[in-house]
Amino acid sequence: MRIIKSAFLICFVSVAANCTQAQIIQFEGKSFEAKNVIASVSKLDGKQVLKLERDLNAIPFDVNRLESTVDEPTYVKLKDLDFENGTIEVKMLSRIQDPSPFQFAQGFIGIAFRIAENDTAFESIYLRPRVGRSANQLARNRTVQYYSYPRFKFDTLRKTEPGMYETSAPVNIDEWIVFRLEVKGEKAELFINDAKYSTMIVSKMKGSTQHGSIGLWVDIGTTGYFKDLRIVKK
């Protein structure tokens, strides 16, 4: 077994596992395991942040098969954490990759939670910050997205229950956003930038997982930055 070390990354490589699968990131006193993303601790505006991009070698992207190649387990997830109910808060910022592998990339960035141990199921709420300040109201209404992996991705929900799992939010690309989730039982509420009232409420989540890990999530064409992760279990 070969061991690769740096100040913030330890990657164990064996015959049966490649570097991406085994990458462990240490950040803000927490250990994260990279799943289908390229992850590193970097600096942004002089401060340490966790930088993520989707790994297209791990999960190829096909613009003609969006439903089957987006809304996937593309995150760093906390090791040794079991979360059921409580608060998840993090600061996040997203940029569009240049060049981007997807011309309609919107800076997809968010949180996955109640992640099954084998990554086969989880809940997620994410943002499309690029359309948050759009002049088109329909586009703005799709700034926030809930989905449940693997059965209820964005396209399925948009077709079966239009408008129920998407909404607007006062966010934009290339700016820091305070993203706070309140999770209790079947319900999840999203609060943006310390707002008193929630931006989105999911009254009945569709997933089968009742508890699991938490992940910092990005998707196609996005460079995502995260810091100040705080979790309070209840």
Average pLDDT over residues 92-117: 97
Q: How far apart are CA 147 and CA 156, in angstroms?
A: 9
pLDDT tens-digit readout, 196-212: 999 999 999 999 999 99
Helix/strand/coil for 79: coil
CA 10, CA 170: separation in Å to the nearest integer?
Answer: 37
User: Given this model, what pLDDT does residue 119 score?
Assistant: 97
CA distances in angstroms from 61 to 68, 109, 208, 226, listed in the order given: 9, 17, 26, 23
SS3 181: strand
Asked if the model's pLDDT at residue 3 lies above 70, the reply is no
| Cβ atoms 107, 96 nearer than 8 A | yes
Strands 75-78 and 213-218: antiparallel
Residue 1 pLDDT class (50, 70, 90 cuts) = very low
Burial of 159 (0-12, 13-18, 19+ CB in 10 A): exposed
pLDDT in tens, 151-195: 999 999 999 999 999 999 999 999 999 999 999 999 999 999 989
Helices (H), the chain: 19-22, 66-69, 137-140, 154-160
Per the model's pLDDT, the better-predicted residue between 5 and 137 turns out to be: 137
The model's pLDDT over 111-162, given as tens digits with 9 standing for 90+, comes to: 999 999 999 999 999 999 999 999 999 999 999 999 999 999 999 999 999 9
State the pLDDT confidence band at 84, using cuts at 50, 70 and 90: very high
Mean residue pLDDT of the chain comes to 91
Q: What is the pLDDT of residue 22?
A: 62
Between 2 and 123, residue with greater pLDDT: 123
Average pLDDT over residues 39-68: 96
* Ordered domains of the chain (ranges, CATH): 2-233 (2.60.120.560)
pLDDT at residue 9 greater than cutoff 60: no
Q: Count CB neighbours of 44 within 10 A.
A: 14
Distance from C-alpha of 25 to C-alpha of 161, rounded to nearest angstrom: 38
* CB atoms inside a 10 Å sphere around CB 119: 19
Whether residue 11 is predicted with pLDDT greater than 90 in this model: the reply is: no
pTM, full prediction: 0.90
Q: Is the pLDDT of residue 5 over 70?
A: no
Residue with token string 């060049």: 99
DSSP code at position 173: T
Question: Which pLDDT belongs to residue 65?
Answer: 94
Cα 58 to Cα 21, 61, 100, 173: the distances in Å are 9, 10, 17, 26
